[in-house]
Amino acid sequence: MESYARKADDLVVRAAEPTDLEAIHALECASFVADRLSRRALRRFIEAPHRPLIVARSHSALAGYILLSVRRGGRTARIYSLAVDARQGGRGVGRELLHAAERYARAHGCVALRLEVRYDNARAIALYEKLGYREFSRYPEYYADGATALRFEKSLTRAPERA
């Protein structure tokens, strides 16, 4: 298991494997109306060491995933995508995936983690703020439907936060 793997209660957080592909793609399609990642792209991400795809599984079913982008020699990692199965909401799946992303980024020498989120995704924004992410800018018309993205960043130089 990688350094970001974790098991809590019935939730197992680990690196995605090729056998997770269909479940990840199904969650991608269920979670996003537009701006979706293709099955082919997800397969490449599972295989690529610089864009780790981490999954959370509960009772052997996919509960969520997070996809990171870490440039070789880069000091800032980026959360490229995060999705949690709606039936798993409120169980801390998103929080555990974010903590796994932070552990991975720290282990690979990153000092900050960034992400974009739709301006109207209040639940996600509340979670990011609770975990120490701070808004630092905006991307107007970032999403396919013209919605604005809020850009958040968290410093990874201080001790990890647990919420």
Q: 161, 153 in Cβ contact below 8 A?
A: no
Residue of 2 and 135 predicted with greater confidence: 135
Looking at the domain assignment, is residue 1 inside a domain?
no
Position 1 confidence tier, pLDDT thresholds 50, 70, 90 = very low
Residue 92 is part of which domain span?
6-155
Q: What is the pLDDT of residues 4-60, one digit of tens each?
A: 555 556 899 999 999 999 999 999 999 988 888 899 999 999 988 766 899 999 988
Q: What is the CATH number of the domain that holds 21?
A: 3.40.630.30
The domain tally of the chain equals 1
- The whole-number pLDDT of residue 3 equals 45
The one-character DSSP state at 161 is P
Q: For the whole model, what pTM was predicted?
A: 0.88
Pairwise CA distance, residues 95 & 51, whole Å? 19
Question: What average pLDDT does the structure give for the chain?
Answer: 88
What are the backbone angles phi and psi of residue 149, rounded to the nearest 5°?
A: -105, 135
* Both tokens assigned to 10: 């019935």
Say what percent of the chain tops pLDDT 90: 67
pLDDT at 75 over 80: yes
- The whole-number pLDDT of residue 103 equals 94
Looking at the domain assignment, is residue 163 inside a domain?
no
Looking at the domain assignment, is residue 160 inside a domain?
no
Residue with tokens 């439907």: 145
